[in-house]
Each structure stands twice: as structure tokens, then as C-alpha cells.
Amino acid sequence: MKSYIQRFIFDKLPLRGAFVVLDDVWHTISSQREYPEGIQRFMGELLVANVLLTANLKLKGKVTIQIQDNPKLDLIVSESTHDLTVRATAKFTKAATADCQLKYEDCISSGALVISVDSEADGKLYQSIVALESGIELSDILNEYMLQSEQLKTFFLFTYTKDRVVGFMLQQLPDPANEHDKDLQRLFMMANTMHKSELLTNSITTMLHKLFNEDDIVLFDPQDIKFACTCSRERVTNVLRSLGKEEADMILSDEGVIRITCDFCNMVYIFDAPDVALIFESLCADMDSISKSIH
């Protein structure tokens, strides 16, 4: 099934929301490698949160969420662009690899999430840090974060299964005179009665009708979400250059060729001895374009 986001707004209230379903996209991403169940759920929820946060962007660019200082994960990163392409990957520590039963709670109990917004227009990077806390799910962490940092009351709810990840968001818009306090309180209370399983069994129309049938809602058409990776031979070449000629020659003499695999899409880039010679011959000519990342 297709993956999509469907947004809605309240006709007479400063309130908006969205519903995200990751289905085919989730299959592609979760099958790139073997992940313990706990990491799969964490990555699925991160992706859904990532798309919902991108849905609020007024600029062209991308939102990236990655983890830092977590004992179970060396890396977990998800990305979503303004035109709704997504990708994600995770690398877990040796201790986590040995534990096939690794639980979601273990992954999310320490460290922090770094949320970065890359603006295409001005090349600026905006970053926020969200601390993870033991015993609290990602949706609740983000609800609290949005309230504290953006002063916007927000309700996130995520549901994960192996086949599908679904997310729901309700978010207050600025209401300077506080004239809608009572209505907003009522609607957030209604949203809080939602159960996770309803996200899997109900359509967005059914859910909105059940929760907010007294209010006028404008529901927009669904927009497709696609998997896409931005890796390229050119970017991988830059990584090779940053390794240095000595290191590259050493790998060549050990392995015959240099193989670099993209963590996000498993694309393999192969460089043989003449390729490597050419890369370092032209190095002086374009020192300026060296980037340390293939992503």
C-alpha cells in the first residue's frame, strides 16, 4: 500500500493536524538490514515524527532527526524533505547486537535527539536538542518538547507494527488573545481519548468524525510519501578523498577494489585501482569541493 500524509485544519479555530501512514516506504526502509525489534519500532516512530515535523515547514529543505549519547545505538537517523521523500538507518552497538530481544524502552531511555532543519534557500541549519527520558515514549517526549520550546500545545500519537507505522498530530496555532482556550482544551481532551490501535483500524475520516464531530474541519487531499536516497558516486568519491591516498592504496592492496556501501539504501560503489589513481590525481584541482560525508 501507498504511504501518505493527509493534513487537516479547523475552520473556525487556530488548530491544525495531520495523519501519516508509512506502508510501502516502511517496508523498503526496515528491510535494508536486520534490526532488533526495539530498534525497528524506534526508527519507525522517528520517521513518522519526522514527516509530521516536516509538514509544518514553511521553507524548502529537510528535517533530520538523529540520536546522540545512547549506549545501545551508535547511530539512528531519519530524514524527510519538504517534497516528502524520506530515508532512515540505524547502527547499533555490539552489546545491542547480541541482544535480539532488545526492547524499545532500552533504546529510548537515554541520550538525546538532535532535530536539524536545513533550509535550502539560505543554507542555514537550525538545531534543537530533545533529551530522552527513561519510561517515556517518543510521542510524549515530543509533546512536552513542542510545548516547552515552541509554546505550542501539540498532541502526537504513534502506532508501530512490523508492516506499518502510523502517526497522528494535532497542533495549536498561535492564538495571541487566548480567545479559543476553552475550545482548544476540549479538543485536546478528545484527542487524548484516542487509543493507538484506532490509528491502525480507522480511516482519518472516521477518526476525525468520532473525535471532533461538533467542529468544522477542512480535510486536504492525501500527498504521497516516497523513499529516496541522496547518495551518489560523486559524494562517495569525496569520502574516499577524505580517507587519503595512503589509506585507499592500503585497502586496494588488501582487497583488490574499494567497496563502499550506502547505509541508507545499500547501494554499493566500487572503485578499482585506475579509479582511485584518477581520484587522487585530480585532488589538487578541486580541493575545495571535499566533503567528509557521502550523505
Sites of contact with Zn ion (CB under 5 A)? 229, 231, 262, 264-265, 267
- We find the least distance from the C-beta atom of residue 30 to Zn ion, in angstroms, to be 16
Q: What is the CB neighbour count within 10 angstroms for residue 68?
A: 13
Q: How far apart are CA 154 and CA 152, in angstroms?
A: 6
Closest CA to 272 of 262, 260, 282: 260
Q: Which residues are CB-contacts of 243 (< 8 A; sequence separation ≥ 6)?
A: none
- We find the least distance from the C-beta atom of residue 157 to Zn ion, in angstroms, to be 31
- We find the least distance from the C-beta atom of residue 293 to Zn ion, in angstroms, to be 12
Between 242 and 261, CB nearer to Zn ion: 261
- We find the least distance from the C-beta atom of residue 48 to Zn ion, in angstroms, to be 21
Between 102 and 260, CB nearer to Zn ion: 260
- Per DSSP, the residues of 46-68 read HHHHHHHHHTT--SSEEEEEEEE
Look at residue 176 and give its three-state secondary structure. Answer: coil
Between 42 and 227, CB nearer to Zn ion: 227
Q: Give phi and psi for 12, each to the nearest 5.
A: -115, 10
- We find the least distance from the C-beta atom of residue 264 to Zn ion, in angstroms, to be 4
Between 216 and 234, CB nearer to Zn ion: 234
Cα 256 to Cα 50, 234, 270, 276: the distances in Å are 40, 21, 10, 11
Burial class (CB in 10 A: 0-12, 13-18, 19+), 3: buried
- We find the least distance from the C-beta atom of residue 262 to Zn ion, in angstroms, to be 3
Between 28 and 116, CB nearer to Zn ion: 28
Q: How far apart are CA 238 and CA 53, in angstroms?
A: 31
Between 29 and 231, CB nearer to Zn ion: 231
